[in-house]
Amino acid sequence: MQLRKPRRGRVSQALALMTANLLAAVGAHAQDASPGPMDAAQAASVTSDTETDLGYTRIDSAVLFYQEAGGRVRAIEPTLTATLNSNSGDVLSVGIVSDTLTGATPNGAAPWKQSQTFVTPAHPPSTTATVTTASGGSTLVTIPGTGIVSRQYVVAPNTLPVDTGFRDQRWGLNLGYSTLWNPSTRLSVGASASNERDYTSASFTAGVAESFNQNMTTAAASIDFEYDLSRPFFGTPTPFAVMSADQKGPVASKTVASLVVGVTQVMNRYWLAQLNYSVGTTNGYQTDPYRILSLVDPTSGAPLQYLYEGRPGSRIRQSLYFANKLAIGPTFADISARAYIDSWGIKSVTAEVSDRIPLTSHFFVEPEGRYYTQTAASFFRNYLVSGQPLPKYASSDSRLGAFSAVTWGLRAGYDITPHAELYLQGESYKQTGVTHPPGAIGGLATQNLFSGASATSVVLGFSFAFY
């Protein structure tokens, strides 16, 4: 029998109201998770945070498989996170992550109608095991009379130049702790560190969240500091230096400081809204030490030299994020939008929608869609032209160019027990941009100069909690 409710009588109405009040008060006394039908706030807790798991320890494990189209980057990333919830609301989380990246990444040069040969520094012979002629498609050459070992690879005509000798392994560790300072104030601190062969990063974050208006409103602020060290085995190249095997440079660092302030509001039983503003400043070395640009002939467009790229040392980013969680019938929808602007000239907009649909009480599916579009950084160049004065900064990184991207995904989850969930998520990501920019020089007019990626990813995850 479905409870279809026509206009109710005087007694029914009075009873419904007084009973709701009584049981709400009892719920507060019992100090349990809020009773009654699942609302948007609870949906949020069910789908994301674990802070309502008072007394429970939750283990989240997942493996991400990521593959870019065209044999480009492939990543396998297992993660493991343990979240310990005390009965008094303290939350401690420890996470480890490991990435293995292999495949080819665009080196920044423009494609050309003839084959192109790139010569880069190679690891000293004692550590050359990571680059082999068989798998990397590159050759190690000792430059005669110098003892300098170079790595050379050849890119076929009319194809995007990619460096295939690319393999990296990353380890990361995250720690987080949050505690209820008083019933309405939550303090949190966190630290993380990660290390890969040529990059080390450490960060620290601290935040405070204050609930008021009977927990209907939460205001939060957090600060974040990050220190990164970029240390390619050949050092960081001087911007616009000619790419060569004999490359030496210093280790370079950058610092990031950011601030996020936000407010989360329970609009009604079915709607939770969040508004965040963040501002961050990055100072130091932000250039990609492996990335080059083609310096081309001003009439034919033929590559003459390959120069290392250079980016400004300062970047200020601001973003505004508006997110909503909605309980729509038995489903939970996430609808969010983000606007971003930075001092490099990039403006971007993101819109994202997902809807979690329970098919049974144990099984749900969650389709998602995301649209992203950005303008180019002021120093973005597909290539540099010989004979013209060099710009102060230049990069051909497609992530700094203008592009749009669409993501489609589907997540399916199964509750094996009330405290154990298995899920599988698939995503398809496709970037589009200007392939033939107007005014391309000579033979470059017929080349596809857009180096953006398309990718497919699959996440297999298992999460369980125990008391």
Partner 1 sequence: MSVRLATPPHPSLSAVPEGLIYSFRAMASPCEVRVDSFDAGMVARLGEVAEAEALRIEQKFSRYRPDNLIAQINNANGAPVEVDPETAMLIDYADIFYRVSRGLFDVTSGVLRRIWKFDGSDRVPTRTQVREIMPLVGWNKVIWRRPFITLQPGMEIDLGGIGKEYAVDVTLLKLAARTKAPVLVNFGGDLRVSGPRAGFGRWRVAIESVDREGVPEGMLQISHGALTTSGDARRFLLKDGVRYSHILNPRTGWPVKDPPRSVTVAADTCMEAGLMSTLAMLQGRGAEKFLRREHAQAWWMR
**Residue 72 per-residue DSSP state:** B
Q: Which of residues 392-431 bind partner 1 (CB under 8 A)?
A: 415, 417-419
DSSP string, 300-368: T--EEEEEE-B--SEEEEEEEEEEEEEEETTEEEEEEEEEEEETTS-EEEEEEEEEEEESSSSEEEEEE
Binding part of the chain for partner 1, among 12-20, 259-267, 288-296, 298-306 by CB under 8 A, reads 12-20
| Minimum distance of partner 1 from residue 86's CB (angstroms) | 17
Binding part of the chain for partner 1, among 30-38, 118-126, 179-187, 234-242 by CB under 8 A, reads 30-38
β-sheet with 303-308: strand ranges across: 303-308, 292-296, 384-385
Nearer to partner 1, 342 or 355 (CB): 355
Nearer to partner 1, 51 or 210 (CB): 51
Nearer to partner 1, 38 or 337 (CB): 38
Q: Is 70 a binder of partner 1 (CB under 8 A)?
A: no
Nearer to partner 1, 16 or 156 (CB): 16
Q: Is 129 a binder of partner 1 (CB under 8 A)?
A: no
Among 87, 88, 182, 360, binds partner 1 (CB under 8 A): 360
Among 88, 126, 361, 388, binds partner 1 (CB under 8 A): 361
Residue owning tokens 């950005």: 374
Q: Is 169 a binder of partner 1 (CB under 8 A)?
A: no
Nearer to partner 1, 6 or 145 (CB): 6
Q: Is 368 a binder of partner 1 (CB under 8 A)?
A: no
Q: Is 27 a binder of partner 1 (CB under 8 A)?
A: yes
Among 7, 134, 387, 438, binds partner 1 (CB under 8 A): 7
- Paired with 386 in beta bridges are none
Nearer to partner 1, 12 or 448 (CB): 12
Q: What is the total count of residues that contact partner 1 (CB under 8 A)?
A: 37
Nearer to partner 1, 166 or 364 (CB): 364
Q: Is 49 a binder of partner 1 (CB under 8 A)?
A: no
- Decide if 377 contacts 315 (C-beta within 8 A): no
Report the 10 Å Cβ neighbour count for 93.
Answer: 18
Q: State how far the Cα of 315 lies from the Cα of 318, in Å rounded to an integer.
A: 10
Q: Which of residues 263-302 bind partner 1 (CB under 8 A)?
A: none
Name the residue among 138, 180, 139, 177 with its Cα closest to residue 161: 138
| Minimum distance of partner 1 from residue 18's CB (angstroms) | 5
Nearer to partner 1, 201 or 463 (CB): 463
Q: Is 11 a binder of partner 1 (CB under 8 A)?
A: yes
| Minimum distance of partner 1 from residue 177's CB (angstroms) | 25
Q: Is 87 a binder of partner 1 (CB under 8 A)?
A: no
Q: Which amino acid is at 348?
A: S
Residue owning tokens 């579009």: 373
Q: State how far the Cα of 157 lies from the Cα of 112, in Å rounded to an integer.
A: 6
- Paired with 441 in beta bridges are none
Q: Is 69 a binder of partner 1 (CB under 8 A)?
A: no
Find the Cα–Cα–Cα–Cα dihedral 449, 451, 452, 456, rounded to 10°. Answer: 130
| Minimum distance of partner 1 from residue 53's CB (angstroms) | 11
- Paired with 467 in beta bridges are none
Q: Is 88 a binder of partner 1 (CB under 8 A)?
A: no
**Residue 111 per-residue DSSP state:** P
Task: Give the number of residues written for the chain.
Answer: 467
Q: Is 134 a binder of partner 1 (CB under 8 A)?
A: no
Q: Is 48 a binder of partner 1 (CB under 8 A)?
A: no
Cα-Cα-Cα-Cα dihedral sign, residues 331, 220, 200, 140: positive
| Minimum distance of partner 1 from residue 49's CB (angstroms) | 16
Q: State how far the Cα of 350 lies from the Cα of 11, in Å rounded to an integer.
A: 50
| Minimum distance of partner 1 from residue 46's CB (angstroms) | 8
Nearer to partner 1, 25 or 320 (CB): 25
Nearer to partner 1, 34 or 192 (CB): 34
Residues 6+ apart with CB under 8 A from 52: 33, 42, 45
DSSP string, 227-279: EEEE--TT-PPPTTPBP-SS-----EEEEEEEEEEEEEEEEETTEEEEEEEEE
Q: Report the alpha-carbon angle 51-55-60, nearest 5.
A: 60
Nearer to partner 1, 13 or 314 (CB): 13
Residues that bind partner 1 (CB under 8 A): 1-3, 5-12, 14-16, 18-20, 22-23, 25-27, 29-30, 32-36, 46, 360-362, 415, 417-419
